[in-house]
């Protein structure tokens, strides 16, 4: 995730753009930059790392000009270097971009063939060149943007600045947020209301496909068909203390809905779709020497690790141990040479996990960390740092960080399998193709939000709820139960479906909703047999499956939730969505504090 600010002002803008970036720093902070127009020329300052580095640049070489754009970056394409930092300039156009241009490769090839020179490794720079080319051919900025936008695939929020038209900025959005702000004789663009809070409280959220020409005394918004439209101007009420929820009621809801984008964003760092290869960030040890993986994490991150155990063993045939961090050090685990210890954490600060990491290091393990906060303690202590690009997760219940963890872990398992010589090129290509399908399948799963909200009334009155699954859907059952417990305060348990008959089935009566996760596939029939055993004892079943599975086993369930039919590899990413949404809607129905449930904290820094 990146943050964008733009000002078409009456007076110098650099300091105010910088202040806007500070408010967006939660969105990314591995490089930042500002570009203004002064005397008909672009002036730009960029810096790697935190905003204070950019502040230093601005002190040494101040920026002037009353129109400008600014960006704080969470790197996706290209390392967080100054060259890759935004704004990018191509001839008469400067641009800042949040999101991913999925078809940047063919566009870049086309532009290279046209003789254009690239100065960064980013996907964003192609957009600057496309618009620049139109302007150099004689188009106005508005016509150039209108011509180029339909050529872009993927998710983006973009702000364009034009050297020869210093009275305007153009913003566009598709799949990434962008707001326009209305001031007194000047106007603004920003990733969210928070960025614009000190400048104006009057904002409008652009809708999917919208683009806007922002001038000092007017803002004209167009829809994706290039028709002028008006969007409601609202009082943002944003203060510097809050990160904006946009049009969502809760951060958790927003974060659930962000998942297709952030999973796609995360995958960009771990797969090379055009080559059909998985990839890892640089590290200096030989993965092929790994003879055991020890996974350690807490809570939801632990369940991501449980899913990964299936993948590491299935693909790489490497034995895996897994522990909750609070137990790990105290059972005196045997950690032998050649072991990779893998720590998974959203915050990177969870005290139990951090302590376990340090213990594993003392025991001579190579340390891999899957983490969402790239500046966290765990990130700093990793030999192999595997960032998730979920962006800041504000809701206490982890959602998007979890599915991004799954995406990284699947890619890591495939990398390990390749390094161990246990996966053919063809198998690797298939894995990459299936991973690439995940964001769209998650989008389809999100399309069932309304049905799931309807089913919440079946669960909200319950005192106890069971979740059942087999194989990788067993940890997903555990995760579903955890989500429900923590935000709705209903007692819930996840079980391996086949384990019910060894005791837990005694709990079943007609007051206990039983949520069964059963994608059609190798384990479907066995899971359904276990489900029938529950139903025979009066259990009220909510079956989550695909159309095929529901056709076979949906009869007699109190409710069914249809998922797209997907490859088993990505089923955990897709089935995360309905269990999150169900927990969310039950909590809303019960009126609990969804984003800040009682007794919990986002970052658990005590053991
Ligand atoms: C559940 C949840 C917690 C965290 C756990 C670990 O929704 O958020 O269970 O997963 O506290 O936190 P991290 O991942 O930051 O180490």
Q: Helix, strand or coil for residue 296?
A: strand
Residue 605 has a pLDDT of 43
User: Which H or E element spans position 541?
Assistant: strand 540-546
Output the CA 578–ligand 1 centroid distance in Å: 19
Cα-Cα-Cα-Cα dihedral sign, residues 28, 30, 36, 40: negative
* Closest atom of ligand 1 to CA, residue 350: 16
**Choice from 308, 344, 346 to test ligand 1 binding pocket (greatest atom count within 8 A of CB):** 346
Catalytic member of 2, 298, 404, 557? 2
> In whole angstroms, what is the distance from residue 340 CA to residue 161 CA?
48
Q: Which residue has a Cα nearest atom 9 of ligand 1?
A: 299
Strand 202-205's sheet: what is its strand order? 41-48, 31-38, 67-73, 3-8, 187-190, 179-182, 202-205, 234-235
Cα-Cα-Cα-Cα dihedral sign, residues 338, 343, 348, 352: negative
Catalytic member of 202, 420, 526, 602? 602
Q: Which of 85, 77, 66, 83 is nearest to 21 (CA)?
A: 85
Residue 282 has a pLDDT of 81
- What 8-state DSSP symbol labels residue 176? S
Cα-Cα-Cα-Cα dihedral sign, residues 521, 522, 523, 526: positive
Helix, strand, coil percentages in the chain from 3-state DSSP, rounded to 5: 40, 25, 35
Output the CA 297–ligand 1 centroid distance in Å: 9
> Active site includes 602?
yes
Phi, psi of 352 (to 5 degrees): -60, -45
> Active site includes 202?
no
Output the CA 298–ligand 1 centroid distance in Å: 6
**Choice from 252, 307, 348, 350 to test ligand 1 binding pocket (greatest atom count within 8 A of CB):** 350
**What are the tens digits of pLDDT across the range 216-258?**
999 999 999 999 999 999 887 665 445 678 889 999 999 999 9
**Choice from 256, 301, 302, 592 to test ligand 1 binding pocket (greatest atom count within 8 A of CB):** 301
Question: Residue 87: is the preceding peptide bond cis (ω within 30°)?
Answer: yes
Task: Write the secondary structure of 362-378 as one string of H (helix), E (strand) and C (coil).
Answer: HCCCEEEEEECCCCCHH
CB distance 343 to 327 below 8 Å = no
> In whole angstroms, what is the distance from residue 524 CA to residue 543 CA?
12
Tokens of 98: 């949040």
pTM: 0.65
Q: Is 283 exposed, middle or buried (0-12, 13-18, 19+ CB in 10 A)?
A: middle
Tokens of 323: 């522990």
**Choice from 486, 604, 606, 607 to test ligand 1 binding pocket (greatest atom count within 8 A of CB):** 604
Output the CA 324–ligand 1 centroid distance in Å: 11
Residue 380 has a pLDDT of 79
- What 8-state DSSP symbol labels residue 216? S
Domains in the chain, CATH or no CATH each: 3-235 (3.60.20.10), 246-446 (3.40.50.10490), 449-607 (3.40.50.10490)
Tokens of 109: 């090839």
Cα atoms in the 13 Å half-sphere on the side-chain side of 166:
20
Residue that has been written with the tokens 């905003």 in this structure: 51
Distances (CA, A) of 125 to 84, 96, 224: 9, 9, 22
CB distance 190 to 4 below 8 Å = yes
Q: Which residue has a Cα nearest atom 5 of ligand 1?
A: 299
Output the CA 169–ligand 1 centroid distance in Å: 41
Residue 375 has a pLDDT of 65
Tokens of 232: 């409601």
Q: Which of 471, 344, 489 is nearest to 402 (CA)?
A: 344
Q: Which of 205, 140, 149, 141 is nearest to 172 (CA)?
A: 149
* Closest atom of ligand 1 to CA, residue 401: 14
pLDDT along the chain (607 residues), means of 10: 89 95 71 95 93 93 96 82 94 93 94 95 95 98 97 91 97 86 96 86 90 98 96 77 76 96 95 94 88 98 98 97 94 93 93 92 96 81 94 90 98 96 96 97 97 97 96 98 97 95 90 96 93 91 97 95 97 98 98 85 54
Residue 10 has a pLDDT of 94
Residue that has been written with the tokens 């206490």 in this structure: 396
Tokens of 110: 């086309």
Output the CA 34–ligand 1 centroid distance in Å: 35
Task: Write the secondary structure of 60-108 as one string of H (helix), E (strand) and C (coil).
Answer: HCCCCCCEEEEEEECCCCCCCCCCCCCCEEECCEEEEEEEEECCHHHHH
Output the CA 381–ligand 1 centroid distance in Å: 19
> In whole angstroms, what is the distance from residue 330 CA to residue 332 CA?
5
User: Which H or E element spans position 118?
Assistant: none
Pocket of ligand 1 from Cβ distances under 6 Å:
298-301, 345-347, 350, 353, 397-398, 482, 486, 603-604
């Amino acid at each position: 995730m990146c943050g964008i600010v733009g000002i078409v002002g009456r007076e110098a803008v650099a300091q105010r753009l910088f202040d806007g970036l500070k408010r967006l720093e939660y969105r990314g902070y591995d490089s930042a930059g500002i570009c203004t127009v002064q005397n008909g020329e672009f002036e730009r300052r960029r810096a790697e790392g935190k905003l204070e580095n950019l502040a230093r640049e601005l002190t040494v070489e101040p920026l002037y000009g009353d129109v400008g754009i600014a960006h704080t970056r969470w790197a996706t394409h290209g390392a967080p270097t100054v060259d890759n930092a935004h704004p990018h300039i191509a001839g008469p156009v400067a641009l800042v971009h949040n999101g991913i241009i999925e078809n940047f490769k063919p566009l870049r090839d086309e532009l290279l063939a046209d003789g254009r020179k690239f100065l960064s490794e980013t996907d964003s720079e192609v957009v600057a060149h496309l618009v620049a080319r139109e302007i150099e051919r004689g188009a106005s900025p508005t016509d150039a943007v209108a011509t180029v936008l339909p050529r872009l695939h993927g998710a983006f929020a973009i702000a364009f600045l034009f050297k020869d038209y210093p009275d305007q900025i153009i913003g566009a959005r598709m799949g990434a947020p962008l707001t326009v702000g209305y001031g007194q004789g000047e106007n603004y663009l920003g990733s969210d209301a928070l960025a614009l809070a000190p400048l104006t409280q009057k904002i409008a959220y652009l809708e999917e496909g919208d683009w806007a020409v922002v001038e000092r005394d007017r803002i004209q918004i167009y829809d994706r068909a290039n028709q002028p439209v008006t969007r409601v101007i609202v009082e943002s009420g944003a203060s510097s203390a809050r990160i904006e929820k946009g049009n969502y009621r809760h951060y958790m809801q927003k974060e659930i809905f962000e998942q297709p984008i952030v999973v796609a964003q995360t995958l960009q760092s771990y797969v090379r779709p055009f080559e059909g290869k998985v990839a890892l960030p640089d590290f200096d040890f030989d993965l092929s020497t790994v003879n055991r993986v020890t996974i350690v994490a807490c809570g939801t991150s632990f369940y991501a690790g449980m899913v990964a155990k299936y993948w590491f063993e299935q693909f790489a045939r490497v034995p895996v141990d897994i522990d909750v961090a609070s137990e790990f050090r105290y059972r005196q685990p045997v950690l032998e040479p050649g072991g990779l210890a893998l720590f998974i954490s959203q915050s990177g600060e969870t005290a139990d996990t951090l302590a376990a990491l340090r213990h594993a290091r003392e025991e001579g393990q190579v340390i891999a960390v899957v983490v969402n906060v790239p500046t966290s303690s765990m990130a700093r202590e990793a030999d192999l740092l595997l960032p998730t690009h979920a962006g800041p997760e504000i809701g206490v219940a982890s959602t998007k960080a979890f599915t991004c963890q799954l995406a990284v872990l699947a890619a890591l398992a495939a990398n390990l399998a390749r390094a161990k010589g246990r996966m053919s090129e063809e198998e690797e290509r298939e894995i990459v193709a299936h991973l690439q399908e995940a964001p769209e399948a998650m989008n389809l799963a999100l399309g069932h939000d309304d049905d799931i909200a309807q089913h919440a009334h079946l669960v909200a009155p319950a005192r106890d709820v069971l979740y059942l699954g087999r194989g990788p859907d067993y940890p997903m059952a555990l995760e579903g139960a955890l989500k429900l417990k923590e935000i709705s305060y209903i007692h819930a348990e996840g079980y391996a479906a086949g384990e019910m008959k060894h005791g837990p089935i005694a709990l079943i009566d007609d007051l206990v909703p039983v949520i069964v996760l059963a994608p059609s596939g190798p384990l479907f029939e066995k899971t359904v047999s276990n489900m029938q055993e529950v139903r025979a004892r009066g259990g009220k079943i909510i079956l989550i499956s695909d159309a095929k599975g529901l056709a076979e086993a949906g009869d007699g369930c109190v409710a069914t939730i249809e998922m797209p039919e997907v490859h088993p590899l990505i089923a955990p990413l897709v089935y995360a969505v309905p269990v999150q949404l169900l927990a969310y809607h039950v909590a809303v129905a019960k009126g609990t504090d969804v984003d800040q449930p009682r007794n919990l904290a986002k970052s658990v820094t005590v053991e």
